[in-house]
Amino acid sequence: MIIDGKAVAAQIRAELKSRTARFFEKYGRAPALAVVLIGNDPASEVYVRNKIKGCEETGIRSLCYRLPAAVSQEEALALVNDLVRREEVDGILVQLPLPVQIDAEKLLRAIPPEKDVDGFSAENIGKLARGEEGIVACTPLGIMELIKRCHIDPRGKHAVIVGRSNIVGKPMAMLLLNADATVTVCHSKTKALAEECRRADILVAAVGKAGLITADMIKEGAVVIDVGMNRKEGRLCGDVDFESAAKKASYITPVPGGVGPMTIAMLLSNVCAAAEARMK
Ligand code: GUN
């Protein structure tokens, strides 16, 4: 089964449309997301455009702020601080990566947890680690939603995550652990990657290396989730060699059209949730 992330994301966006309508009826305004884009990284431009398009489709107000690549830390921080103070702004997203002169950690720390719709803050990650309610990073949250809507229950399953980033690998491990999976996290120093992967009932590849996961690393009937977004000869491809892996997997996500659309859908969902929580 190929998991159609595009279709699931469209369904979630439709659900969000009525959620934002209810919000508008109750509070007389739309939930609002502020996006900060610094510089002109081409991939970031595409991501931000899609995020704003998603807002428009779901009745979320989007405020886009573009700063030049050479902007100073002080100026960037002043913008974020202004967005933090503004009552009508429910979520703040600073698109990554940032130019070298910007201290990303310092800039992101200015975003309070209740407006941190990326779920990157120490407080939100801490809550996730403790199994408490908070805002969860969009990509891992989208993967959990895909798994759920395919009626796959992680309980008691062996989940193997390849990649230990703060944005995907680590929060993914915590979500699967919270869903009662047995979790292994692999990374660049892992000794026997293929062997570890072959133990997986649920395999999540989030490394950024085209074709790293081949069919021989996949257990028959495993669920394979590909988070990779690699450019190869002008084409987008994942971390999994899809053609061969699809023959062994019970469920597999394609690239593009798998996890990617879910990331944006969950961002929009996080904005709605943040707006509702702030108005309570
Ligand atoms: N750059 C790549 N992925 C992401 C993401 O999920 N959030 C932000 N803010 N920037 C990114």
What pLDDT is stored for residue 268 in this prediction? 98
From the options 3.90.1150.10, 3.40.50.970, 3.40.50.10860, 3.30.420.40, give the CATH code of 27-112: 3.40.50.10860
What pLDDT is stored for residue 237 in this prediction? 96
Mean pLDDT of 171-183: 98
- Output the CATH code of domain 138-261: 3.40.50.720
Give the DSSP letter string of 91-143: EEEE-SS--TTS-HHHHHHTS-GGG-TT--SHHHHHHHHHT------HHHHHH
What pLDDT is stored for residue 197 in this prediction? 98
Question: Backbone phi, then psi, for 98, in 5-degree steps?
Answer: -110, 155
At 154, is the pLDDT very low, low, confident or very high (cuts 50, 70, 90)? very high
Of 90, 95, 201, 226, the catalytic one is 95
Closest ligand 1 atom to the C-alpha of 44?
1
Pairing mode, if any, of strands 230-232 and 235-237?
antiparallel
pLDDT digits (tens, 9 = 90+) for 6-60: 999 999 999 999 999 999 999 999 999 999 999 999 999 999 999 999 999 999 9
Clarify whether 82 is annotated catalytic.
no
Report d(CA 112, CA 102) in Å as an integer: 19
Whose tokens are 């279709």? That residue is 7
- % of the chain surpassing 90 pLDDT: 99
Which one of 167, 259, 262 would you pick to mutate in the ligand 1 pocket, going by the greatest count of ligand atoms within 8 A of its CB? Answer: 167
What pLDDT is stored for residue 98 in this prediction? 98
Cβ neighbours, 10 Å, residue 21: 13
Cβ neighbours, 10 Å, residue 147: 24
Closest listed residue to residue 183, CA positions, set 166, 165, 196, 192: 196
Closest ligand 1 atom to the C-alpha of 137?
6
The answer to pTM > 0.85 is yes
Per-residue CA distances from 129 to 155, 171, 203, 232, 235 (Å): 17, 8, 20, 35, 36
Clarify whether 115 is annotated catalytic.
no
List where CATH 3.40.50.720 sits in the chain.
138-261
Question: What is the average pLDDT score of the chain?
Answer: 98
Question: How many angstroms separate the alpha carbon of residue 264 from the centre of ligand 1?
Answer: 10
Clarify whether 101 is annotated catalytic.
no
Mean pLDDT of 109-120: 98
Report d(CA 150, CA 147) in Å as an integer: 5
Question: How many angstroms separate the alpha carbon of residue 44 from the centre of ligand 1?
Answer: 8
What pLDDT is stored for residue 47 in this prediction? 95
The HSE-up count of residue 44 (CA atoms within 13 Å, CB side) is 18
Report d(CA 217, CA 260) in Å as an integer: 23
Of 90, 118, 226, 239, the catalytic one is 118
List where CATH 3.40.50.10860 sits in the chain.
27-112
At 238, is the pLDDT very low, low, confident or very high (cuts 50, 70, 90)? very high
Mean pLDDT of 108-125: 98
Mean pLDDT of 153-169: 98
pLDDT digits (tens, 9 = 90+) for 52-71: 999 999 999 999 999 999 99
Residues 198 and 168: beta-carbon distance below 8 Å: no
Burial of 220 (0-12, 13-18, 19+ CB in 10 A): exposed
Closest ligand 1 atom to the C-alpha of 93?
9
What pLDDT is stored for residue 19 in this prediction? 98
